[in-house]
Amino acid sequence: MRQIDPNEPRIYFLPNAMTAGNLACGFFAVLTIFNGILEATTESGYDFAKAQPFYEKAILLIFASCIFDLLDGRLARLGGKESPFGREFDSLADVISFGMAPSMLMAKAVLLPIGDLGWWLACIYVLCGAIRLARFNCLAALPKSANVGTDFRGIPIPMAAGFISSLTYLIIYFNETDRNLGAWKYVLAGAMLGLSILMVSNVRYPSFKKVGWRTRATPLLIVSAVVTVIATVRYHHIMPAVLFSAYLLYGLAVRPFLSPKVTHEIEDVDDGPDETGETGPGESI
């Protein structure tokens, strides 16, 4: 019988398989962006129209990474299998999927016409994203105290990547007449800088970690969720930008002005009793 090294980190299959899916989607998003760059680069210059299908595919892969990132944490908490290895693996995957892939997309697909400034903005975004993930891991490793909440400090990097990618996806869809995006590239540049600052800020965003498989729901909530899913599939160019924008604006411009009672009603849900008969507390991020 093989002896197990007590110092060997525990690697749980399902949560880390989801993280691996996140990383794979991020890798293929970067690869797809490279292919778009090669396709668009001609002797006469840079033809954005030729690269557009590649960039749209890369954005969809970033969205898929967001889904895998959502699932890995849910599965880990559902099975009580959270581990330091999973936390570190998830952060490494996030740097690729939500740091490198969106920054390359913006620098080469969108911000190329504004020159070196685009590269600097992309670099700042990756740097702030990595700092945010490192800070998250440091805070998660601290001993948990009873009064620590479940809020994110700074906007999570998957939400930042989802917002900038969905906004790009929407603008490309509606901007048929100007394939180089016109003045929209400056809007996206400003959004990317703002997201970089938000990631390392102390603005609190809800984690919704208590929403899980055992969360009690009302019929109205179920119908709303189903309608949202159907609308997202049907209007896939529009709804991602709506959903990511709603989360960004809620934490930045709405939540600070809500009373604790209203905030509690919106964000806190009853998970019901766990296997030990107690309600499981959320973890600080």
277 part of a folded domain = no
Lookup result for tokens 């690869």: 31
Pick the range with the lowest mean pLDDT from 150-154, 159-163, 228-232: 150-154
pLDDT tens digit sequence for 95-109: 999 999 999 998 877
128 part of a folded domain = yes
5 part of a folded domain = no
| Kind of pairing between the strands at 45-46 and 152-153 | unpaired
57 part of a folded domain = yes
pLDDT tens digit sequence for 163-209: 999 999 998 888 765 566 777 888 889 999 999 999 999 999 988 77
Q: Residue 20 belongs to what domain range?
A: 13-267
Question: What are the residues facing 205 on neighbouring strands?
Answer: 152
Listed ranges 7-11, 17-21, 77-81, 176-180; the one with the highest mean pLDDT: 17-21
Kindly indicate the confidence band of residue 62, based on its pLDDT and cuts at 50, 70 and 90.
very high
Give 167: exposed, middle or buried? Use CB within 10 Å, 0-12, 13-18, 19+. Answer: buried
DSSP string, 144-213: P-TT----EES--HHHHHHHHHHHHHHHHHH--S-TT-TTHHHHHHHHHHHHHHHHTS--EE---TT-ST
282 part of a folded domain = no
How many residues in the chain?
285
Q: Are 167 and 188 in contact (CB under 8 A)?
A: yes
219 part of a folded domain = yes
Tokens of 105: 């997309």
d(CA 191, CA 271): 36
Domain count, the chain: 1
135 part of a folded domain = yes
- Please check the confidence at residue 285 and state whether its pLDDT lies above 50: no
* Predicted model pTM: 0.86
d(CA 282, CA 98): 24
126 part of a folded domain = yes
